Amino acid sequence: MFTRDMTVSDIQRLQAEAAGPDVALVMDEDTFRAFYDRTARSVWAYLSRLTGDPHLADDLLQDVYYRFLRAGASYESEAHRRNSLFRIATNLARDAYRRHRGRPLHVSEDIEPVASGEDVAGRVQRQTDLSRAMVHLKPRERAMLWLAYAEGSSHREIADALGVKPGSVKLLLFRARRRLAGLLKGGGA
């Protein structure tokens, strides 16, 4: 789903090219692997909901980590590092949105629930409803709601990731939540 399947020669070429001296990146490979394993699923989910397009999220994910590695910033903590990652993801999703402006946001209808058994149809329905409702929200509203209720981010973390004043998050979040709740209840907001 990410990129085409790699052939043996592709891998050999990449290995040969990567075998040279490492260029300066923000962390070493082992640290990066661990950090990626901890964060990539969340970042992908965020990008997917922000753009409404899982395939675009696949592409953007790689860019997010590349930019993160090249940022050359020093991070005080894991949370700081994670916030920075989400800020990069937000900016890339915003750029992608601007590039695709005028084209309606894609609503993924091919949702395959991972859970089996109880309430599968209900889950699919709720996800489809969410996808359709998110289309009517502004990108910043989508991002804010996702960070608040999927990621459980604090107002300060949301402000950091979205580049808004911490003081205004409360009001913006209230409005976005109001709007989405209205849409999910079928009120249209």
Partner 1 sequence: MSQVECPFEADVLTAVYTSRWPDRAEPELRAHVANCAICADVVAVAPVFEEDFEEARARVKLPDAGLIWWRAQLQARAEAARAAVRPITVAQAVGFAAAVGVAGAIFGATATWFQEALQWFGGAFSAMVSWRVPTIPPDIVDLVTTHGLWLVAGAVCFVLATVALYLAVRDQERET
Residues that bind partner 1 (CB under 8 A): 1-3, 6, 14-15, 17-18, 20, 22-25, 29, 32-33, 36-37, 40-42, 44-45, 48-49, 54, 61-62, 65-66, 69-70, 111-115, 123, 126-127, 129-130, 145-146, 149-152, 170-171, 174, 177-178, 180-181, 184-185
Residue 186 per-residue DSSP state: T
Least Cβ distance, residue 80 to partner 1 (angstroms): 20
| Amino acid (1-letter code) at residue 122 | G
* 67 close to 92: Cβ distance less than 8 angstroms: yes
State whether residue 9 is helix, strand or coil: helix
Least Cβ distance, residue 57 to partner 1 (angstroms): 8
- Other beta carbons within 10 angstroms of residue 92's beta carbon come to 20
Least Cβ distance, residue 152 to partner 1 (angstroms): 7
> Which residue's CB is nearer to partner 1, number 48 or number 83?
48
Least Cβ distance, residue 102 to partner 1 (angstroms): 26
> Which residue's CB is nearer to partner 1, number 95 or number 120?
120
Runs of H (alpha helix) within 71-119? 78-99
> Which residue's CB is nearer to partner 1, number 83 or number 131?
131
> Which residue's CB is nearer to partner 1, number 44 or number 97?
44
Q: Which is nearest to 48 in space by CA: 15, 96, 85, 12?
A: 96
* 79 close to 35: Cβ distance less than 8 angstroms: no
> Which residue's CB is nearer to partner 1, number 66 or number 163?
66
Q: With left for phi above 0 and alpha for psi between -120 and 50, is residue 117 left, alpha or beta? A: left
Give the helix/strand (H/E) hosting 55.
helix 54-70
Least Cβ distance, residue 36 to partner 1 (angstroms): 4
